[in-house]
Structures are given as C-alpha cells and as structure tokens.
Structure 1
Amino acid sequence: MDFRSIPRDPHAFQQPVTAEDIQRIGRRAFGSTARVTSAVELGGGMYNTTYRITLGGETEPVILRVAPSPERQFASEHELMRNEYASVPYLATVGDLMPRVLFADWSQEIAGRDWMVQSHLNGVPAPDRLGAYSRDLWPGFFAQLGEIAARVHAVRGPHFGPVAGPGHPTWGAAVVASLTAIADDVSRLGLDAADLRKVADIAGDHREALNEITEPCLLTGDLWTVNTMLDPHSPEPVITGVLDLDRTLFGDPDADWTIRMATAKEDERTAFWDTYGPRHLSPAATWRGLVYEARHVGAIRLERHRLHNTDGVRDTYQLVAAVLAQLT
C-alpha cells in the first residue's frame, strides 16, 4: 500500500493511524476481501485526521476521517463526528453538496477512535482556489454561501443544543450550558476562565432575552470558506461541495459561525445578505449577539491552545473583555 502520513510532533493534537489500521478499516467497511492500495493523509483540517484512500479494483477514491481519541476531546466538543452523523437527515436540504456517508464505526475497536468513510467530493478547497479569481467575482461566492446558509437555517429540530444532544427545552438553557462547558474546558487546561463564567452568569440572569428564540433552527456550526469546495474549471467561483459540518446545533440562526463571519467585515462578503435575506436587529438581538460572540471566542481560545498558539490565546481575553464591557 502507498501510505503517506503528514509528519507530526508526537504531542500534536492530530495523530495518524497506522497502515495496518487502515487496512482493517477497509475490510470492515467494504468486506473481508477489500484491500486498500493507497492512503494519503490530507492537510487543511485541524480536528479529525483525514485520508484519501483507494481500494483495489476501484477507480474513485473515498475519504476516511478518524476522530481524535476520546481522551483528547474537549467536553464542549464531545463526539463531534457522531454529531455530524446524526445531522445527516437534517442536512438533506443541502444533500446535493455534501459527501455521502458510506460507513461509520463507533466501536473504537480499530485504533481506539471513531471513524467514518465518506464519498469523495469533486472540486478544490475554496481557500486554495478563490484567490485565483478577480476580487470582483468574489461576491458571487459569498452569495452562494448565503443561499446555502438560508437553506440550512430553514430546517427545524426537536430541541435546542447539539443535534446529537444533549438537548435542552429552551435556547437560554442551551446557551448557558454551552458557555459553561467551554469555561470548564478552559479551566481544565489551567487557563483562566473567569471571563467566560461571567458571561455565562449574565446569560443566565437575562435568559428571557435568549428565550425569545422559540424555534430551534438548524445551524451549520462551522460553515465558511474553509468548508467549501469549488469547481476547478469554472470561470467564476462555483461552490460544488460543503463538508465537515460536525458542529451543527439547533438554536438561533444569529448564533451560527456563518453569521459571525458574514458580519465580520464590510467587503465582498456583504453579498451574503443578498441571498440569505436581511437581518432585523432588535435591542434584544444585539444583546444576544454579544453573548454569542463570547461563546465563539471561548471556542477559539480552546482551538488556539490546542494549536499551541500562545499569543492567540492571550488575544481572546481582550476580545471577551470587550464583550463584557458592553454586556455590563
């Protein structure tokens, strides 16, 4: 087998599996006679370990994604791969853009980790292709993102919180639980989580503003440029695929990472709203947006720590302080 892994520090968060593990995965997913002839680890993602694999007798590759071992996962990011798997029926509205799940295994009998095999999406990652286009064509890309987000946000769920659970009866309870889980993870790392706990307390004290959200809408959790594929031959940016939606949850669309990114700058991304639709921000919605920003920054703090980005971790404290200055 042609086996290629990305060289990584032994202490890095992402860790490879062995060639033997991949052969065992191939046999479990495709039958006892299956043989993997090629397994190439792909970069770009920062959470799961991903391989493009080819099986003997097959011309089309498939994608193998292997979750981090359970002890490496933050409580606030518990079993994200299982959450993505549970989200597939709800994401049917964008099913034409998403990879198909071919096999999933939560037994952890192979490598002690969850894994999933998906169909291979054609195209090239948007971060590798978008910059090749003239910037006057970029609004078309962001308009497509707006249309995709609108389709997802139109889906309703049975509870508030992560798609796979735990579910909450109100949006306020889900937000406070999420903030608390992130703060607990930060504390377990030996970092100061007092700022995030203060936001959680404020959110709890004013949960009536959060509970104005009564419909649990499906949120992508992580959709932006890095999660899209583009047609490599089109004269203008055309989204051909959407992937890695493992942070899906039910709640307020304004709490989605996609909305945060769409509002981050006044540039080509303003075309997002042409297809998504206008926002009507009440004082309560503006207040909720501050709570959501603290939640996003808390998750960023965890990710930057995972990537050993000390300066980036430090910067998050200034960002949360700015939020608290407006909340209090």
Structure 2
Amino acid sequence: MELQAVAREPDAFQRGLTAAEIEAICRRAFGATAERAVELGFGAYNSVYRLEVAGRSEPVVLRVAPEESAQFGSEFRLMRNEYASLPWLAVIAPLLPRVLAVDWSHEVVDRDWMIQTCLPGIPAPEHLGNYPRSGRTTFFRRLGAIARTVHDVRGTHFGRVDGPPYTSWSAVVIASLTQIADDLERAGLDAADVRKAATLAEEGRATLDEIRDPRLLTGDLWTVNCLLDAEAPEPSISGVLDFDRTEFGDPAADWTIRMAQAKQDEREAFWTSYGDLDRSPAATWRAGIYEARHLAAIRLERHRLANPAAVGDSHEAMQNVLAELRR
C-alpha cells in the first residue's frame, strides 16, 4: 500500500497510523485492502486519511481519534458524540458525509475510528478567496441558513448529545468551564481566570436558566468545516464536516454565532438568513459567559497545538471579558 503521511514533530498531539494499521482497518470495514492512503493536513484533532480501497470505485475518508490517554476531559470521546448526533442532524443530511463503518472496540487499533464517504468539493479556506469579496456574501448567507436549520432542532436534554444529560443550561455551562479549568491545570497552565468565569456563571445561574428550550448547537461550524463546489460561479457550499462538538443548549453559545459576529465584513450576510439575535441585557450577559467559555477552550487548543504565544494572549482577552461581566 502507498502511504503519504504528514510530517510532524515527535511530540505533536496528532499521531498518524502505520500502513499496517490502515490495512487492518480496511480489512475490518470492507474485507479488502487499501491501495493508497493520503493523510490530509487540515484539522487539528483527529487524524484524517483519504483512502483508495480495492474493489471500491470512489475514495473514502478515514478519521481516527487521538489515543484516549492523550485526550482532555473536556474533549473526551468527541467522535462518539458526533456519531450520536447524526440522527439529530438529519435536517442537513444532504450536506453530510455518510458513515460507512465505525469501530469503538479498539481491537484493530487502540483508537476510535470512523470511515465516511468522500464528499466532493474544495475546503472553503482554500477556495473562498478565489471569489471577489462582494460575491462571498452568498457563502455567508448560506452558512446562516444552515446554522438556523440546525438551531431549530429541539433536544430532550441539555449538554452533549451523547450525554451526560443535564436538566438545566446553567449546569452545562458551569460544568464545562470547570472541566476546561481542570484540563488546563493538569497541563500545567494557569486557569484562575477560567475558574472566575465559572464562579460568575454560578452567580448568574438564574440568567443562564432563562434558556429553557434545548436546541442543537453545531459546536464548530465555520469556514474551515465547509466544502465548496469547485465549478460554481459563486461560492456554493457542497458539504459540511466535523460535528463532534455538538450539544443541546442556547444557540447564542455556538461557535458559529461567535465567528459570525467577529468582523463587520461580508459575513454580515449571515444574519440575513439566520435572523436577529436577542440583544437584551440578559442575553448580552450570557454572551459574555459564552465568550469566556470559548476563550478557555481556545487556550486549551492552543496548548495542544504547541502555540505558547497564543496561550499567553488568551489571558488578556479573558480579563477583558471578566471585567465586562462584573460590570
């Protein structure tokens, strides 16, 4: 089998598979051998390969989770959460890859893995810049419509789709901040400001619990997780990927909403299809708590990606958010 792997530092978080491991996975999934495996460089959590398998006319995508011993508590078994989310994501099924095989047994390799169909298209970060800025509003308008469709799905509990289930939104937010703080401290990083955010969330529990209707959150949907039609005259989303961080809660807490508000540019078209946000004082305060949670997760990710400068930058941003929350 021909294997093209991404070169990484020996201590990098992402760990590739050997040719023998990929062969074993293909035999388990298809009873066939892999002829070629190309590791894809995008993504910063799972290891991802495009496979050409004997007897199959179309390539498939293999996604392999990190070893469980390397996973943080706040990111534990994310692939299993994505798999549990698929019935809830049926509203956007035509845009999603189909799952062909999945294995949590750790019998073939000591990691969770999933094989999916290979969607046509080019990653949006690579192709969106080929269109004039004035034309990119089409992309963000479509992204807003996709987010709206997902956020309209009602869940049966608060928290991650695969659980544990919570009966209140405040309990999810407080537990999430606390778990990320625990992860940061186990990694040897300062998490005092994250714990302050958890304390403020506890003090504002009643405001968080004004959210009584658990809605489905995408968790991580933005340009990096979109594919574009290579031939379309204007940006056309042909697929969306990586829903491993889905949860039920307040749509305003979703990463997609955070990113849509990050700049005043062509992304403002997002709101023409998504709709208006609640701008009440209570919603504004909740948004501050959500930003603290995003910043805490970003700090953890930057540490995982061995970017100490960005880890340091997160402290100033967090202090600004905490100051606003205290006011």
TM-score, normalized by the shorter chain, greater than 0.5: yes
Distance 1:320 1:166 in 2: 28
Report how far residue 279 of structure 1 moved. 1.4
Distance 1:280 1:23 in 2: 51
Output one character per residue of 1:59-94: Cα deviation in whole Å (capped at 9) or x when no partner. Answer: 200000000000111100110000000000000001
List gaps (5 residues or longer) in structure 1: none
- Following superposition of structure 1 onto structure 2, how do residues 238-277 of structure 1 map, counting pairs within 5 Å? 238-277=236-275
Distance 1:203 1:11 in 2: 36
| Residue number in structure 2 paired with 1:36 | 34
Farther-moved stretch of structure 1 (117-126 vs 51-60): 51-60
Distance 1:50 1:107 in 2: 19
Farther-moved stretch of structure 1 (120-129 vs 275-284): 275-284
- Following superposition of structure 1 onto structure 2, how do residues 95-134 of structure 1 map, counting pairs within 5 Å? 95-134=93-132
Alignment pair present for 1:169 and 2:167: yes
Where in structure 1 do 4 or more consecutive aligned residues deviate above 6 Å? none
Alignment pair present for 1:15 and 2:15: yes
| Residue number in structure 1 paired with 2:136 | 138
Q: Which amino acid aligns with 2:16?
A: P
Distance 1:109 1:318 in 2: 45
Distance 1:324 1:110 in 2: 46
Report how far residue 248 of structure 1 moved. 0.3
Alignment pair present for 1:208 and 2:222: no
Which of 68, 72, 75 is the aligned partner of 1:74?
72
Distance 2:26 2:56 in 1: 12
Distance 1:111 1:314 in 2: 36
Report how far residue 109 of structure 1 moved. 1.5
Q: Which amino acid aligns with 1:8?
A: R
Give the secondary structure class of the aligned counterpart of 2:110.
Answer: coil
Q: Which amino acid aligns with 1:306?
A: R
Output one character per residue of 1:26-80: Cα deviation in whole Å (capped at 9) or x when no partner. Answer: 011112xx11111110011100000000111222000000000001111001100
Report how far residue 165 of structure 1 moved. 1.0
| Residue number in structure 2 paired with 1:87 | 85
Distance 1:118 1:161 in 2: 26
| Residue number in structure 1 paired with 2:46 | 48
Which of 287, 291, 294 is the aligned partner of 2:292?
294
Percent identity (aligned): 58
Q: Which amino acid aligns with 1:129?
A: H
* TM-score with structure 2 setting the length: 0.99
| Residue number in structure 2 paired with 1:317 | 315
Tell me the number of residue pairs that the alignment of Structure 1 and Structure 2 aligns: 326
Give the secondary structure class of the aligned counterpart of 2:92.
Answer: helix
Report how far residue 110 of structure 1 moved. 2.1
Report how far residue 196 of structure 1 moved. 0.4
Q: Which amino acid aligns with 1:10?
A: P
List gaps (5 residues or longer) in structure 2: none
Distance 2:24 2:135 in 1: 45
Output one character per residue of 1:115-167: Cα deviation in whole Å (capped at 9) or x when no partner. Answer: 00000000000000000001110111000000000000000111111111111
Distance 2:284 2:267 in 1: 20
Report how far residue 327 of structure 1 moved. 1.2
Report how far residue 280 of structure 1 moved. 2.5
* TM-score with structure 1 setting the length: 0.98
Alignment pair present for 1:219 and 2:217: yes
Q: Which amino acid aligns with 1:204?
A: E
| Residue number in structure 1 paired with 2:226 | 228
